């Protein structure tokens, strides 16, 4: 998993509440277990009509086609537990989602895939949403170590984050990475078990 330290990029505004995982990545894109190629399905039903015509969705607009940050409404990522949702965001290039609140499973899945979900009060979300509406001038910086969001005007907004999750993102550790940190102990246990219990 890619390490997350400082992220600077354009922030896209998605001023919608209760954006569920089916909106993020519709069910027809769940046939793959690959984490690549899913950006085409990201918000597919919001981006195109049934004939494939563009609906001029925010992520298809020139200022936001390379957005790295998404400013969203309350209860982002609700609905089913599909891990394809953070995969699709990551494949598009979004490494940080800022919202008042997230559905628990989506929130946890973000950390396991190298995306930083930041919870902020609605008043600050409103400010960031206004900032994001400035198009190409909507560049923000996320400093994970300092736990700060820097707005386009330079103002810094602090955010809270569990220390273990922060450690994992800073060091690029998913569940497998955490396990491999104890590889020496695992190898030692396996070697000892083979000697004492060779029938297993």
List the chain domain ranges: 6-196
Homologous superfamily assigned to 6-196: Aconitase, domain 4 (3.20.19.10)
pTM metric for this prediction: 0.89
In this predicted model, what pLDDT tens digit does every residue of 100-109 receive, in sequence order?
999 999 999 9
Q: Is the pLDDT of residue 182 over 70?
A: no
Q: Is the pLDDT of residue 199 over 90?
A: no
Q: Which residue has the higher pLDDT, 134 or 190?
A: 134
Residue ranges in the chain assigned as alpha helix (H): 21-24, 44-47, 84-92, 104-112, 122-132, 163-171, 175-180, 183-196
Instruction: Grade residue 179 by pLDDT with cuts at 50, 70 and 90.
Output: low
Cβ atoms of 86 and 76 within 8 Å: the answer is: no
Over pLDDT 70: what percentage of the chain? Answer: 95
Q: Is the pLDDT of residue 174 over 80?
A: no
Q: Average pLDDT over the chain, rounded to whole?
A: 92
Q: Is the pLDDT of residue 185 over 80?
A: no
pLDDT for res 37: 86
Least confident stretch, 51-55, 58-62, 89-93 = 51-55
β-pairing, 148-150 with 139-143?
antiparallel
Instruction: Grade residue 181 by pLDDT with cuts at 50, 70 and 90.
Output: low
Select from 103, 101, 93 the least CA-distant residue to 124. Answer: 101
Select from 57, 115, 46 the least CA-distant residue to 83. Answer: 115
β-bridge partners, 97: 70, 117
Average pLDDT over residues 68-96: 96
Which pairs with CB-CB distance under 8 Å and at least 24 residues apart come from 55-59? Answer: 58/12, 58/13, 58/14, 59/12, 59/92
Radius of gyration (Cα) for the chain, nearest Å? 19
For the beta sheet containing 6-14, the strands, ordered from the edge strand earlier in sequence to the opposite edge, are: 116-119, 96-99, 69-72, 6-14, 139-143, 148-150, 156-158
Least confident stretch, 6-20, 50-64, 98-112, 170-184 = 170-184
């Amino acid at each position: 998993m890619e390490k997350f330290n400082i992220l600077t990029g354009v922030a896209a505004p998605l001023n919608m509440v209760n954006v569920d995982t089916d909106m993020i990545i519709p069910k027809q894109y769940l046939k793959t277990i690959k984490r690549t190629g899913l950006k085409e399905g990201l918000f597919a039903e919001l981006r195109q009509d049934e004939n494939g015509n563009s609906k001029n969705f925010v992520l298809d607009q020139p200022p936001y086609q390379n957005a790295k940050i998404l400013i969203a409404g309350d209860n982002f990522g609700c609905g089913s537990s599909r891990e394809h949702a953070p995969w699709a965001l990551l494949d598009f290039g979004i490494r940080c989602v800022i919202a008042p609140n997230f559905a628990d499973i989506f929130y946890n899945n973000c950390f396991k895939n190298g995306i930083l979900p930041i919870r902020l009060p609605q008043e600050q979300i409103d400010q960031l949403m206004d900032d994001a509406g400035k198009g190409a001038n909507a560049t923000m910086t996320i400093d994970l170590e300092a736990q700060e969001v820097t707005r386009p005007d330079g103002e810094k907004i602090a955010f809270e984050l569990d220390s273990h999750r922060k450690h994992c993102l800073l060091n690029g550790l998913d569940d497998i990475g955490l396990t491999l940190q104890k590889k020496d102990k695992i190898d030692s246990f396996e070697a000892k078990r083979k000697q004492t219990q060779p029938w297993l």
